[in-house]
Structure 1
Amino acid sequence: MNTKVSVMQLTSVVALGGLLFGYDTAVISGATDALQNYFQLTSTELGFAASSALIGCVVGAILSGVTSSRWGRRGALILAAILFLISAIGSAIPDDYWTFVIYRIIGGIGVGLASMVSPMYIAEVSPPDRRGGLVACNQFAIIFGMLVVYFVNYGIALLGTETWLYNTGWRYMFASETIPAGFFLIFLYFIPETPRWLAMKGRDNEAHYLLKALNSGRNIDSQWKDIKDSLKDKSRVSIAASGFMGVLVIGIMLSVLQQVTGINVFLYYAPTILKGFSSSSIDIALLQTILVGAVNLTFTVIAIITVDKFGRRPLMMIGATLMALSMFAIGTAAYMNAIGGYLLIFVLLYIAAFALSLGPVVWVLLSEIFPNKIRSKALSIAVFAQWIANFAVSQTFPMMNDHDSMIYQSFNGGFPFWFYGAMGVFTVFFIYRWVPETKGRSLEELEQLWDKQHHQSSDVVAHH
């Protein structure tokens, strides 16, 4: 078996979970105006329609730890694929607001599962020197899914008049997800479990064989020993008792900061925001949204190429700095009533910086920093926090951007962008102060790094 081909094949299949993550979360961006018109929604109801899937994402994140530990990484992804299919069909047929919301929540559960399990699976089958780039492929798939659905939405919008789009066209947008979801479900039946999950379940022969196949031409003795050593303690202990509470806090903070720097404001509400920047029609705004997706994809590819070369910290700090500057510029332009098409430059700079840094690299870090014996549980908690933050941002932005709100009138629409910019500045400080460099180390070597730091801090406390 060719090592490179085998690892890439597994990554390609599992990254379809990422593609559906992006597809499902962004499909609503082209339908927000239609939904508001069809269901006669207030700005708060529209915010909930757009963010209702995130309730499911939170539920999916909670379930992902238990599901991926009990049924395996592959089993959890199969469940996610089934939920994507149900949601795609159900979201396309409702005639009332709450039925639509329920099916969006079901899809969100699938997203929550895939968002945690896909990068974890890829991390657990990847060689240390390629892990960053391979896990970042999942982020590429997320962005690719978003870009594909932007094209799909734009194409559907061109099929008829605006009246047709508002009455019927939006249903085709949601139904289109059945195609990638069906392929994902089929392909998952042809991939194995991860070596580390098999080892956790005592299936050592299968685990060793698969690890050897994935590392063809390499000596896996030391890696296998590290895996077995990391799983020696069979007792079920809480994360706090395991001594890894500090790394969990770092994981949670990285998850939250990825969201509160404002990315999903542009991904979910891009057509609405871009229409506000100029007098463009909805079709032009959707076309500009495709440009946003293309920039996102291009710079994610650059991150994939560079994350194992330059490391996680430099990319994160440079990217967060550019994101903050872009948000401050957009907020200031709004406050000074200097809105214009030129702001698309700052939107694209922000998207490029995110795609180079917080987008892929946070997922890389989350997939690799947690020890084997608590990875499922800790990663599910971190991803749960991420979806809570995502929901909060997605729910509050339409309210802050409502022209009748006190916040909007006080700051002329600039406040939310200034807030996201301030969070970008804090992100730079947090990474500089608390996030270590992880490139080129095996998952078990990183576990030893955290274990060493824990003992050092314990010694300091004991000394004082």
Structure 2
Amino acid sequence: MQVGVSVGTFSAVLLHPTSFKDSWQTSYILIESMWIRCHLIRRRQNCPSHQPNSEKEVCTNESLQESVAMPLAQGLSAASHLPRQSMHNGCGELHKALCGEPPAVEMFSKFPKIYNVYFLACIATMGGMLFGFDISSMSAIISTDQYIEYFDNPAGVVQGAIGAALAAGSVVGSIIAGPVSDKFGRRDALVFACSFWIIGTVLQIAVNGRGMLIAGRVLNGITVGITSSQVPVYLAEISKHSQRGAIIIIQQLAIEWGILIMFFIGYGCSFIPGETASFRTAWGMQLVPCVLFLIGLPFLPESPRWFAKVDRTEEAIFTLAKIQADGDLTDPYVIAEYEEIITVLTAERLAPRSWRKFVYNGMWRRTLAGFSVQAWQQLSGANVMTYYVVYIFAMAGLQGNIKLISSGVQYALFIIFSSIMFFFVDKIGRRTLLVWGAITMGICHFVVGGLLGANYTYVPEGVQGDKNVVMLVRGAPANTVIAFSYLLIIIYALTLAPICWVYAAEVWSLETRAWGMGIAAIGNWLFNFAIGLFIPPAFLNIKWGLFIVFGVLCLLAAAQFFLTYPEASCHAIGFDQGPYAWKTKKGSAHLDEDVNAISTAQAKGEARASIERIAEKHKSVSDVKTENV
């Protein structure tokens, strides 16, 4: 008996759930197919009856074929312990799942769940707003008199350490995010993350010096590291492939709204009189999005793919149907996607289960792409603008409130142009946006660096008394620097800002996604830390040359994007399109073909046959070849 047939039989029953009430035979078929599937995917789990002899054991072709060929009688024997009345009346857990009653879950089970994918995205991406709040909590404050006086005018490496503390914590958060997410679920990992944010914010409110400020930002960073890696994972796992880019862009928009809102909160707080009330009030406002996030999280269902990954089949089916088809278990998309999840997951469990799974059998390409796309996002130099835009505008001669308001305009442009990409991201290829975005950003850096280098006046005591700013340009060159700074942010908002998060979420397989996105986020936060730490001293030492460095890095990024990044738009998550990345094109996932086949077969009354045809398209578990390593 082949796995495809069992999956096909199971899906056929999904198409005709009313047969539960009419036939014991159909019930036996369902239980048998489910029993075989569960036996296969639990072989390598911590189950007493299926536990491997050693941690290094890898399931072979032969052992899997043995499992698949186990007699139907054993499945029926396992089912015979269920009371006849319970099975006939549909009181078993499987029937509850298939007939529309959600099975109980351990956490937040008493809260009603939201299943509209856009509402889910809006709640989940409140985690991105935390990131945005923390960025601007420094951007609007570092140039105020209260901050400069209370923290003894931190400059160079000291200010860099304060700015980079968030990224340092985020590296830690990214490292622990994968294990926590795989163990407790995507949603519960986000709940766990919020505890660090609350403690870190309290430390910043009560700050009494540089050390306490850095400690609070490190704790906030742990939260950001977890949310920045696991929110995209959650969004990728609940959305259809045709809308995945737009859904994940909501995360980027939440970050940008957080930056904008907090920047103007900080600007408003700068008028509060007193020695420390201005920045304590501004940093205290960071609790607001965290509280809203915690209020919304219990209403989120867990990811159906995570349910499938941990063998909670009933919840996986029920949640998938509710999110994608308003609970309709006969919907072709639900059937096709669930089959794909199970087929892919079962095959992936043949692979090595240690860290080797990130490099075996060509997986190193995905690991490199996921890590490097996030690293290049930081090395593009855009965060020089988001973190230290007030310094750049001070170099251009802007002062006081004009400088702060002009900096806020940048964040508004960021939101406007990222919002535009919400409607077009899934219509344009990922490669196109990455390659051309990096090239045009590089040009902007060269223009800004060239203008500063050719026209600046050296101010050793610091422009407007700020020791971090020692260059000053005036007139037309200054206006051009401001214009190209805005243009760089616009290009970034249209290309690398959203696409790097989308691509990093798409590149991983189901088995590696939580840990893999953590690896990608480590790439982001390691370089974010380096940039946050070294930008202030770089302004002092290499001055305008810093922009030339970022221009060169952007061109190098474009080269890697073109040569090694296959197109991911509208392909299945965890795609594999061969070794020649530049030959790949925007396409459609085989899931679309499966959906069309099911729809056609349903119209002809041949649903069961169509499911079996679809199952034949996928690799069965017995066809997957792995090395016993």
TM-score, length-scaled by structure 2: 0.67
* 1:202 equivalenced with 2:321 (yes/no): no
State whether structure 2 residue 117 is matched by structure 1 residue 7.
yes
Structure-2 separation of matches of 1:242 and 1:226: 20
> Structure 1 residue 206: deviation in Å?
0.4
- Once the two structures are superposed, residues 174-196 of structure 1 have per-residue CA deviations (whole angstroms, 9 ceiling, x without a partner) of 10111111010111011111011
Instruction: Tell me, yes or no, if structure 1 residue 37 matches structure 2 residue 175.
Output: no
Distance 1:305 1:450, change over 3 A: same
Establish whether residue 188 from structure 1 lines up as the match of residue 326 from structure 2: no
Structure 1 alignment gaps of length 5 or more? 408-412, 454-464
Hey, what's the Cα distance between the residues in 2 that align with 1:279 and 1:100?
28
Structure 1 residue 61: deviation in Å?
A: 0.6
TM alignment of 1:50-199, pairs within 5 A:
50-160=163-273, 164=274, 167-199=276-308
2:523 partner amino acid: A
Distance change in 2, residues 1:451/1:126 (3 Å): farther
Aligned-residue RMSD, C-alpha: 2.0
Q: 1:437 — aligned with what?
A: 567
Give the CA deviation at 1:317.
2.2
Flag structure 2 segments of 5+ consecutive residues without an equivalent.
1-99, 101-112, 457-472, 582-629
* Post-superposition CA distance 1:380-437 (Å, at most 9, x none): 11110110011111111101112xx3x3xxxxx2111111111111122211111111
Any residues of structure 2 matched to 1:333-372 within 5 Å, and which?
333-337=451-455, 339=473, 340-372=478-510
Q: Is the partner of 2:276 in helix, strand or coil?
A: helix
Amino acid at match of 1:21: F
More helix by proportion, 1 or 2? 1
Separation of aligned partners in 1, 2:280 and 2:455: 36
Alignment match of 2:575 (pick from 444, 447, 452):
447
Q: Secondary structure at the match of 2:206?
A: coil
> In the alignment, what sits opposite 2:536?
398
For 2:420, the aligned partner's letter is I
- Change beyond 3 A, Cα 1:399–1:452: closer
Distance 1:342 1:328 in 2: 12
Q: Which amino acid aligns with 2:184?
A: W
Q: Percent identity?
A: 27
1:229 and 2:318 aligned = no
AA matched with 2:129 = L
Deviations 1:80-138 (A, max 9, x none): 22222222221111112111111110000000001001111001000111011111110
Tell me how far apart the structure 2 counterparts of residues 83 and 452 of structure 1 sit (CA, whole Å): 43
Cα distance in 1 for residues equivalent to 2:343 and 2:173: 31
Q: Which residue matches 1:48?
A: 161
The structural deviation recorded for 1:279 is: 4.0
1:267-282 to 2 correspondences below 5 Å: 267-281=386-400
Cα distance change, pair 224–47 in 1 and its aligned pair in 2 (3 A) = same
CA pair 4-202 structure 1, distance change in 2 beyond 3 A: closer
* 2:444 is the alignment partner of 1:331: no
TM-score by length of 1: 0.90
In the other structure, the counterpart of 1:410 is none
Which of 13, 25, 37 lines up with 2:135 in the alignment?
A: 25
Cross-structure match for 2:547: 417
Is the 1:243–1:451 Cα contact (8 Å) retained in structure 2?
no
Please point out which of 247, 258, 276 is paired with 2:366.
Answer: 247
Structure 1 CA distance, aligned partners of 2:431 and 2:245? Answer: 12
Are residues 88 and 389 of structure 1, via their aligned partners in 2, closer, same or farther at CA, if it must alter by over 3 Å? same
- CA displacement, residues 431-463 of structure 1 (integer Å, 9 cap, x when unaligned): 1111111111232xx43546999xxxxxxxxxx
Matched to 2:160, the amino acid is G
3-state SS in 2 of match to 1:122: helix
Among 435, 439, 444, which residue is 1:321 paired with? Answer: 439
- Residue 200 of structure 1 deviates from its aligned partner by 0.5
- Do the aligned partners of 1:32 and 1:50 also contact (CA within 8 Å) in 2? no
How far apart in 2 are the matches of 1:70 and 1:311? 34
Find out whether 1:308 has 2:426 as its counterpart.
yes
Residues in 2 aligned to 1:365 and 1:322: alpha-carbon distance in whole angstroms: 19
Deviation at 1:242, TM superposition (A): 5.4
Aligned to 1:214: 323
Query: What residue is the counterpart of 2:416 in the other structure?
Result: 298
Classify 1:346/1:267 alpha carbon distance in 2 versus 1 (closer, same or farther; 3 Å): same
- Counterpart mapping for 1:257-268 below 5 A: 257-268=376-387
Note if contact 2:132-2:259 (Cα within 8 Å) is conserved in structure 1: yes
Determine the C-alpha separation between the residues in 1 that align with 2:307 and 2:373. Answer: 29
1:61/1:383 contact within 8 Å kept: yes
Q: What are the Cα deviations for residues 121-171 of structure 1, in whole angstroms up to 9, with x where unaligned?
A: 0010001110111111100111111011111111112334xxx3x633111
Q: Which amino acid aligns with 1:248?
A: T
> 1:196 & 1:362 partners in 2: Cα distance?
22
Write the deviation string for residues 40-70 of structure 1: whole angstroms up to 9, x where unpaired.
1242111111111111011001111111111
**Partner SS state of residue 231, structure 1:** helix
Q: Is the 8 A contact 2:114 2:299 kept in 1?
A: no
Amino acid paired to 1:63: I
- Alignment-derived partner of residue 459 in structure 1: none
Cα distance change of structure 1 residues 447 and 317 upon mapping to structure 2, 3 Å threshold: closer
Following superposition, the deviation at residue 5 of structure 1 comes to 6.7
The CA deviation at 1:268 is 1.0
SS in 2 for 1:94: coil
